[in-house]
Amino acid sequence: MKTSRRDEIVDAAMALAREKGLDAVSMRALAARLELTPMALYGYFRGKDDLLDAIVGRLLGLLPEPDPAAPPLERLGVLAGGVRVLAKDHPAVVTLLFTRPSVTEDAVVAVDRIYQALLDAGVPDAQVGRLERLLTTFVLGFVISETQGRFSEGNRDMRSRRALLGPDELPAHHRLGPLLDPQVDWDAEFDADLADLVTVIERAART
Amino acid sequence: MKTSRRDEIVDAAMALAREKGLDAVSMRALAARLELTPMALYGYFRGKDDLLDAIVGRLLGLLPEPDPAAPPLERLGVLAGGVRVLAKDHPAVVTLLFTRPSVTEDAVVAVDRIYQALLDAGVPDAQVGRLERLLTTFVLGFVISETQGRFSEGNRDMRSRRALLGPDELPAHHRLGPLLDPQVDWDAEFDADLADLVTVIERAART
DNA sequence: ACCAGCAATCTACACCGTAGACTGCTCCGG
DNA sequence: CCGGAGCAGTCTACGGTGTAGATTGCTGGT
């Protein structure tokens, strides 16, 4: 497997995804953008799956490296924020983080940093694994919801929701009323969620 | 748009997904299973997207309805557990819950039940929206990670992780050592995570 | 001069979603 | 009894997909 131009091809794939969406990343379209024939790509990647995994690898490599001297909870914040920045910079490909496991070197290193931060925060050894999964699950879920439209879109058009069904079927929607309407400050919400999860970590650290 | 056989077709699509994976649910394959021509399906669905949305609708309709008289936090547990059961019963299609927003009636009703439970638990009105999103994001993320292999698979083969890089690059992995190895009891982990999130809700309710 | 190995190509296959035109059938109003 | 509306389903076709297999041309080493 040639490796020389792999990075260049992955770059082109990510650019293509940004411009036209992940679905537009076909071997043919990607080859055309690189002025190659589709089959030329198979010299660098075993197939499309391999290409997508390489994109995941690149994404994880872009994660910031928190200062090891910083307080552990701050390090976690840096990593979480980094994922979110990644999602904003590469919204089309960020779903791959969820759907394509893949244990690249970068992924393992990132997980290790989270483990270490949890340990330094005083979390008992037996709970480190679970809390790492809790944290990453939430962070990935949040950024994907945010970029993929599960949060925003018509999904949060509350007026039309209330119009869909009456107060009998949707008591809480009608009770909360306009409180649900204003557009949300997602930066603030992400921070608030993280703060809540930090209290979970601190509670675990006290036991 | 005919509606008579829609349910039957959605059933067939979900069965096909269970047997051969979501990718195998093509209009052609689905039509063949129903002994129809592909184009016959277009009498019942505007297109493939419409079919997938119908699957999401069916999934949400399968959510359990918690006893409105039960304590609010227990109601939340019933809903969360229901999503997880859904994921186990229909692992191939559960990703659609994340990637296809869609505001069906069933979806709005489910969200309203969560709002109501949070309100009943004493959460201030202004925080209900955020905590609903926090909860659903985590629950969906968890069940998808579980069924899609982000948790299990080779991803948790810790021995090979530690073999990948030395103690210098992965200090926490080596420090935790065999603690990370045993296969996890996901039922217990899900319950523990939910318990942690309940403390977050209770904290919000105290303010 | 030869040959190995590499980069890239061409052709071909089996699949995909779906637009558009069409057939046969059933049922209902005049 | 006839005509027509409407419905269920079919057929054909277009432009797309991933990729297997065989083939070309080039380049560097012996």
Q: Which domain holds residue B138?
A: 69-206
Quick one: which of B52, B23, B46, B26 has its CA closest to B38? B26
Any idea which nucleotide's C1' is nearest the CA of B36?
Answer: D9
Write out pLDDT tens, residues A87-114: 999 999 999 998 887 778 888 899 999 9
pLDDT at residue number A181? 66
pLDDT at residue number B155? 60
Chain B: closest CA distance from residue A197 (Å): 8
Among A49-58, A131-140, B148-157, B174-183, the least confident range: B148-157
B34 Cβ contacts chain D strand, under 7 Å: no
B115 within a domain of the structure (yes/no) = yes
| Contact by Cβ (8 Å): A2, A43 | yes
Per the model's pLDDT, the better-predicted residue between A56 and A159 turns out to be A56
Q: How many distinct structural domains can be found in chain A?
A: 2
A4 Cβ contacts chain C strand, under 7 Å: yes
**Band of pLDDT at residue B135, cut at 50, 70 and 90:** very high
Any idea which nucleotide's C1' is nearest the CA of A27?
Answer: D18
Helix axes B125-148, B105-120, angle to 10 degrees: 120
Does the pLDDT of residue A160 top 90, yes or no? no
Question: What CATH number has the domain bearing residue A35?
Answer: 1.10.10.60
Report which listed range, A17-26, A145-154, A155-164, B154-163, is most confident.
A17-26
pLDDT at residue number A101? 75
B126 within a domain of the structure (yes/no) = yes
| Same domain (yes/no): B86, B165 | yes
B137 within a domain of the structure (yes/no) = yes
pLDDT at residue number B100? 84
Provide, in whole angstroms, the distance separating residue B27's CA from nucleotide D13's C1': 17
Does the pLDDT of residue A159 top 80, yes or no? no
| Contact by Cβ (8 Å): A189, B127 | no
- Angle subtended at Cα B151 by Cα B160 and Cα B104, rounded to the nearest 5 degrees: 160
Listed as ranges, the nucleotides of chain D within 7 A of a protein C-beta are 7-12, 16-22
Question: What CATH number has the domain bearing residue B201?
Answer: 1.10.357.10
Quick one: which of B60, B104, B193 has its CA closest to A130? B193
Interface contact flag, B108 A200, Cβ < 8 Å:
no
Q: How many CB atoms lie within 10 A of CB A199?
A: 13
Distances (CA, A) of B87 to A118, A203, B75: 29, 30, 19
| Same domain (yes/no): B90, B188 | yes
pLDDT at residue number B177? 81
Write out pLDDT tens, residues B27-47: 999 999 999 999 999 999 999
Write out pLDDT tens, residues B98-109: 888 777 888 889
Share of chain B above pLDDT 70, in %: 97
Longest dimension (CA), chain A: 64
Nearest to A173 among B115, B171, B200 (CB): B115
Residue matched to tokens 């914040």 = A77
| Same domain (yes/no): A39, A73 | no
Q: Is B191 on the interface with A (CB under 8 A)?
A: no
Mean pLDDT value of segment B42-61: 95
Does the pLDDT of residue B57 top 80, yes or no? yes
d(CA A132, CA B50): 37
| Same domain (yes/no): B165, B132 | yes
Chain A residues with beta carbon closer than 8 angstroms to that of B112: 169-173
| Same domain (yes/no): A116, A174 | yes
Alpha helices in chain B (DSSP H): 6-20, 27-33, 48-61, 72-89, 96-99, 105-120, 125-148, 158-164, 171-176, 186-205
Mean pLDDT value of segment A8-26: 97
Q: Tokens for B169?
A: 């690059």
Instruction: With H, G, I as helix, E, B as strand and everything else as coil, classify residue B136.
Output: helix
What are all long-range contacts of A145-151, with beta carbons under 8 Å and residues at least 24 apart? A145/B98, A145/B133, A145/B137, A146/A84, A146/A87, A146/A186, A147/A87, A147/A88, A147/A91, A147/A94, A148/A91, A148/A95, A148/B98, A148/B99, A148/B101, A149/B101, A150/B98, A150/B101, A151/A184, A151/A186, A151/B133
Chain A: closest CA distance from residue B153 (Å): 8
A42 within a domain of the structure (yes/no) = yes
pLDDT at residue number B172? 94
Does the pLDDT of residue B93 top 90, yes or no? yes
Write out pLDDT tens, residues B61-85: 999 999 999 999 999 999 999 999 9
**pTM attached to this predicted model:** 0.93
